[in-house]
A and B are shown apart, each in its own frame.
Chain A
Amino acid sequence: MTTTTRTIVAVTAGLSQPSSTRLLTDRLVADAVTELTTRGVQTEVQVVELRDLAHEIMDTMLTGFPPPRLRAVIDAVTAADGIIAVTPIFTASYSGLFKSFFDVVDSTAITGVPVLMGATAGSPRHSLALEHELRPMFSYLRAIVTPTAVFAASTDWGSGATTDDLAGRIRRAATEFSALVAAHEQPAQPTSPLGDFVPFAQQLAGK
């Protein structure tokens, strides 16, 4: 019997140490891995702390090419079967670091890739930032975003079990995500390592 393996890259943009954004990321990863295991799917998980790459991300903005460490991360994100993306909410939106990372990833790199979004903030009143800031960004990138996105305000970390508590939301999102990841097929490799190109006779047709 062949076992199926899917790779998941979790991108987490928390700045403090320890970080509640990382805490939420770890919970999402754990539930996703459990769900996939139940489905008979093995997982390889890489968690990326964007804070560690902050200078490289900005250098890439300025030079146009990623330094080696960031390049390895971009390659991993590009090759992932699923992406868990978690950001703190700053000034009513994703953090600049989080956005900058996705700005230096090629605009077609995560086309068709399942994405589970999460966000943290001090106040529950930021919760819809996931829907009106992050979801459009991933739609632009043509990623497949789960219907459930997980928002954790500070108070969520101390709330007890209710019908729609943090743990329940994480579980629901992880279930949706796992179904998409399990079904994800890697696209065909491009013509060259640099991407597809049209044979010249075809480019020239009609010229």
Chain B
Amino acid sequence: MQFGIFTVGDVTMDPTTGRTPTENERIKATIQIALKAEEVGLDVFATGEHHNPPFVPSSPTTTLGYIAAKTSTIMLSTATTLITTNDPVKIAEDYATLQHLADGRLDLMMGRGNTGPVYPWFGRDIRQGIELAVENYALLRRLWTEDVVDWEGQFRTPLQSFTATPRPLDGVAPFVWHGSIRSPQIAEQAAYYGDGFFHNNIFWPIEHTRQMVSLYRQRFEHYGHGTADQAIVGLGGQVFMRKSSQEAKREFRPYFDNAPVYGHGPSMEDFTAQTPLTVGSPQEVIDRYATMRDEVGDYQRQLFLMDHAGLPLKTVLEQLDLLGEEVVPVLRKEFDSKRPAHVPDAPTHASLVAKAGGAQDSTVYAPADDVTGASPVARS
């Protein structure tokens, strides 16, 4: 079981001080949060991708590349990579490069994005969101798994004899998750490929998440990737903790009440009852999240949203201490003890290389590189 955090990268005013961080402060804070995540023993750091204010993460591979250089164990990921409006060729190149630099500590989560104008800004039509996700991802997979690609589709210029470079590390593409809140088509897509399915979970009642995951599991089995309970599932989550429940509620309430997305709407009490948001002591968080496997079955990845709504960096780092020291070790033990042996962990680079029968880096092991069929090195 992997535990980690995901960030939206919002630049939001701290409602208790009236101060809004600069973009520079937010970007640097994101780095510190990622480093802290590794320090407290979390397994995954994932960043969103946005192309409009008040969000800063428009260039995830730059940020993740920087974090890769400063860390050694934590897995880097996205939440999500916009498969609709990005050129799949550029995704293939950027993330293969990052995969090399991070020594394989990388996977990705595909998403369609929820900001209407981003589509036209990138020359796309939001009404074709699903079709774009389907075609672009099909091409991305081919670019990572086939050295030379001839391709023609509906949305991008055709490719003849195209090779995406660098080839994936050890000849193995990064593992891919597909994130969707309410599109059964995306659960179907994840199931078809045997990829992971991630439900953001944080803004919706758990019944809804359960239905989406259940659909994905059934279709995963239908496509012959294993039994339904072997499908690779990830969930989002959202918590705020202090030693005592009262303290947590008092401190978080102004952030809740003014938060983007749900602020000025339901009360914190209603919202915590209806969604997985948990505001309380570490024990309350443990109790709440231990029930997630009752809802969706044994799952492989739990990511928490910890740094939104204007929470100051100092507070976020304290939250990560609590998460890493008090919550995750208990949940990890709990989930691991209950998970049957036939339910796999989330794939990692090492497990994918092993599954492929070993590393196959064309530029290192082949007599001539199998990209060009030639080698710059003179043969004797």
Question: What is A's interface to B at a CB cutoff of 8 Å?
Answer: 58-59, 61-65, 67-68, 191-201, 203-204, 206-207
Contacts and interface: CB of A to CB of B under 8 A. Distances in A.
A59 B271 CA distance: 10
B204 A195 contact: no
B188 A194 contact: no
B55 interface: no
Contact of B135 (A59, A191, A192, A207): A207
A61 B192 CA distance: 34
Given A62-B262, A63-B261, A192 B184 contact: yes
B372 to A, nearest CB: 27
A200 B192 contact: yes
A194 B265 contact: no
A203 B274 contact: no
A195 B184 contact: yes
A207 B203 contact: no
A52 B134 CA distance: 43
Contacts of A62: 262-266
Contacts of B223: 200
Contacts, number: 72
Contacts of A204: 134, 138, 192
Given A62-B262, A65-B208, 17 more contacts: A59-B265, A62-B265, A63-B203, A63-B261, A63-B265, A65-B204, A67-B270, A68-B274, A192-B184, A193-B211, A194-B215, A196-B184, A197-B187, A200-B188, A200-B223, A203-B185, A207-B153
6 contacts: A59-B266, A65-B274, A67-B266, A68-B274, A194-B182, A198-B185
A59 B264 CA distance: 9
Contact of A197 (B139, B185, B263): B185
Contacts of A196: 184
B189 interface: yes
Contacts of A203: 130-131, 134, 185, 188-189
A60 to B, nearest CB: 9
A129 B96 CA distance: 60
A120 B287 CA distance: 51
Contacts of A199: 188
Contact of A194 (B130, B134, B211): B211
B184 to A, nearest CB: 4
Nearest to A61: B265
Nearest to A203: B134
A200 B154 CA distance: 17
B266 A64 contact: no
B297 interface: no
Interface in B175-189: 182-185, 187-189
Most chain A C-beta atoms within 10 Å of own C-beta, residue among B135, B185, B205: B185
A65 B205 contact: yes
Interface of B: 130-131, 134-135, 138-139, 153-154, 182-185, 187-189, 191-192, 203-205, 208, 211-212, 215, 223, 261-266, 270-271, 274
A64 B184 contact: no
A103 to B, nearest CB: 15
Contacts of B189: 200, 203
B162 to A, nearest CB: 16
A195 B208 CA distance: 12
Contact of A64 (B130, B154, B203, B211): B203
A109 to B, nearest CB: 14
Nearest to A65: B204
Nearest to A196: B184
Contacts of A206: 154
Nearest to B186: A197
A44 to B, nearest CB: 25
B261 to A, nearest CB: 7
B64 to A, nearest CB: 28
A207 B130 CA distance: 13
A58 B263 CA distance: 12
A65 B203 CA distance: 8
A63 B185 contact: no
B127 to A, nearest CB: 14
Contacts of A58: 265
A203 B184 CA distance: 12
A197 B188 CA distance: 8
A206 B139 CA distance: 12
Contacts of B192: 200-201, 204
A201 B211 CA distance: 22
Contacts of A191: 184
Nearest to B135: A207
A194 B266 contact: no
A197 to B, nearest CB: 4
Contacts of A61: 265
A194 B212 contact: yes
A203 B208 CA distance: 24
Nearest to B138: A207
Most chain A C-beta atoms within 10 Å of own C-beta, residue among B188, B203, B211: B188
Contacts of B274: 65, 67-68
Contacts of A68: 274
Contacts of A201: 192
A198 B130 CA distance: 11
